[in-house]
Amino acid sequence: MTKTAWVFPGQGSQAVGMGVDLLTHPTAAAKYQTAQSILGWSVPDICQNHEDKLSRTLYTQPCLYVVECILADLMQERGHQPHLVAGHSLGEYVALYAAGVFDFATGLALVKRRAEFMEDAAGGQMAALIGFNYEQLLAQLAQTPNVVLANDNSDAQVVISGTPEGVETLIASIKVKRAVKLNVSGPFHSPLMAPAAAEFQKALESVPFTDAKVPVLSNVEPTPATAAEVLKERLSQQMTGSVRWREISAQLPQEGIEKVVEIGPGKVLTGLIKRTSGQLVLENVSGAADLPG
């Protein structure tokens, strides 16, 4: 049997119309109904009819979680199971769900609170950098206050986060092919998120986790773990910690993984994994039409 990892994308991968093709599946219909009772609004309605809301953290994160969980459920209903899971930022919550660490409703309630705290964060800036000298970037980050490596995606693509001044200073001090400021409400995955993270921690502490059925590679610590207390502790650090996706990508073949299936809209993660671990077989399940038999 081919040793397979499932990976789940995070904020930025959302697309208008995502999940609408799943509405006819009984599993999906039940999940959408549960989600509406928790959120107070309809995920399919937002995904279909409200592009402005879909791009807002408050809605983006729950929508992605719900759609990706449904796709993971449908994969499992068809007899497919991962040997290992990982998710990028918000996607880590779907990975934990797919690994059986918490149930759908528990995870969605956490994601709802996370989205609310992150939506309220302000006073920061994030920027994607493409095409640079990686060692030079790390050296400059160490010398520049109030800016950190938020998403370490690959040697050629990262996201930095911090104060507007810190981000501007860093961009001006290195040679970069392209720098794109992100339309986000706050400095995610940086120490500036500490107040939001402290509030979220109160919600996280009250939620019971169970041991994962398959190993999880966490954003802040890309080594496999299944113990409930370890996974919860790692998740508690995620809001202020860096998403170490480059290391996760490199770790996959070290764990004997031969194939990676990205479950969710877009192909961002398989694109990043291809750069770091190009020998892996890569597949994408973005919607109903991509589901294997």
189 is catalytic: yes
Which residues, listed in sequence order, are joined to residue 285 by a DSSP beta bridge? 263
Catalytic residue selected from 13, 88, 154, 189 = 189
Torsion of CA 271, 276, 282, 286, to 10 degrees: -30
Catalytic residue selected from 13, 89, 161, 218 = 89
Which residues, listed in sequence order, are joined to residue 261 by a DSSP beta bridge? 6, 283
Residues with a catalytic annotation lie at: 89, 189
